[in-house]
Amino acid sequence: MTTNPDRKNRLTNTNLNFLQRETSRREMLRYSVTLAGSALLAHLFSARLLRASAASDAQQSPSAADLLASMRAKFNAVPMETQKLAENVTMFDGPGGAVTVLNGPDGKFMVDTFVLPAWPKLKEALDGLGNAPVKCVIDTHWHFDHTDNNAHLHAAGATVLAHENTKKRMSEPHDLPVLYRDADGALHDLHFDPSPADALPQQTLPDSYKLQANGETLALQHFAPAHTDSDIYVHFQKANVIQMGDTFFNGMYPYIDPGTGGKINGMIAAADKILSLADNDTKIVAGHGPLGNKSDLTKSRDMLITSRDRVQKLKSAGKSAVEAVAEKPFADLDPVWGKGIINSDQFVQIAYLTL
């Protein structure tokens, strides 16, 4: 069994360059349009400039399918590691976040599924836990790096369970409000077609749900809009393990998806909710970053509050998102929080757009 010392550094090393800092006016235009849509930023840029930038980018952009395949490949390059969290609870960590599995005579009950190219090694890891089939797959939210292997697992007999908004979002096309920087340094947004029918959750919950299996109680609860509007947490109550999905980025600035309801205040509320459930021995599984605990989540929550308050002050003073970035409000936070998937300039924009 290997350990998981610092997934944050491994993610950074694979150059998952979400929302790279823009240095030119043209790049900032493109970044802002992708993050929020022209309607949210009409007060910043003229419609003519936005249309011209979008038209120019469209002529040079690779296909949406190629971009998505490249992003999946980058996630898949992260090595998979295994960490036992309790007697019958195991975490697989790597190509698209974390997968947690409850294993026993009632079958395997797993949370999240990695990116699509990781399926062979995910299947091998699952088989390595024993012969029991996967009975249930729980999606913490709709994003592809957490749902990509739903169809494989459903075909093998598992029922996919998620919040009703996860099924709704997966059933729609999306231009995910992030940018992808390719090998040539060009910036692109990521387009997602609706997921195929066999990848959609077969069972949904509106608010909360409980599962009893393998001597364990799994308590599922929907968060108010936080990372997205589809987030849930999964509490393995006997094992004292809580999987938060992407409502917790351990040790780094988080990504919050403004295109599907993400709110920085919701991220803070999500942290407060889990802190009320956790004790000093609780293992808290982050969507990205190493396995965490109550202290780690408290530090992340405090950073979110500080970030929100600083950006809110600038926004209330009439600063635009671009002007807020120029103020460098997170400069003192960067030594701790700025070495992950996104940097402080990008997180200023995210905080601004999700207030």
Q: What is the pLDDT of residue 63?
A: 79
Predicted pLDDT at 331: 97
8 Å CB contact between 95 and 76 = yes
Point out which residues pair with 138 in neighbouring strands: 111, 161
Q: Please, are residues 268 and 305 in contact by the beta-carbon 8 Å criterion? A: yes
| Among candidate residues 264, 247, 290, the one with its CA nearest the CA of residue 141 | 247
Q: Is-contact 225 261, C-beta < 8 A?
A: yes
83 CB-side CA count, 13 A:
21
Provide the β-strand partners of residue 210.
Answer: 219
List the pLDDT tens digit at each of the 355 positions of the chain: 444 444 444 444 433 343 333 333 333 333 333 333 322 332 222 333 333 444 444 455 567 788 888 889 988 999 999 999 999 999 999 998 999 999 999 999 999 999 999 999 999 999 999 999 999 999 999 999 999 999 999 999 999 999 999 999 999 998 865 545 555 545 456 788 999 999 999 999 999 999 999 999 999 999 999 999 999 999 999 999 999 999 999 999 999 999 999 999 999 999 999 999 999 999 999 999 999 999 999 999 999 999 999 999 999 999 999 999 999 999 999 999 999 888 899 899 999 999 9
Burial 268-285 (b: 16+ CB within 10 A, else e): bbbbebbeebbeeebbbb
The pLDDT value recorded for residue 20 is: 38
Q: Read off the tokens for 355.
A: 């207030």
Q: What is the CA radius of gyration of the chain?
A: 20
Tokens representing 341 are 């998937």
pLDDT at 70: 85
Q: How far is Cα 307 from Cα 245, in angstroms, rounded to an integer? A: 21
Model pLDDT, residue 64:
76
What does the pLDDT read at residue 40? 31
| Both tokens assigned to 198 | 């066999």
Task: Give the CA distances from residue 156 to residues 40, 47, 213, in Å, rounded to whole numbers and listed in that order.
Answer: 43, 49, 19
Please state, in angstroms and rounded to a whole number, the distance separating the CA atoms of residues 71 and 206: 31
- Determine if residue 31 is left, alpha or beta; phi over 0 gives left, psi from -120 to 50 gives alpha, anything else beta: alpha
pTM of the model: 0.82
pLDDT at 127: 97
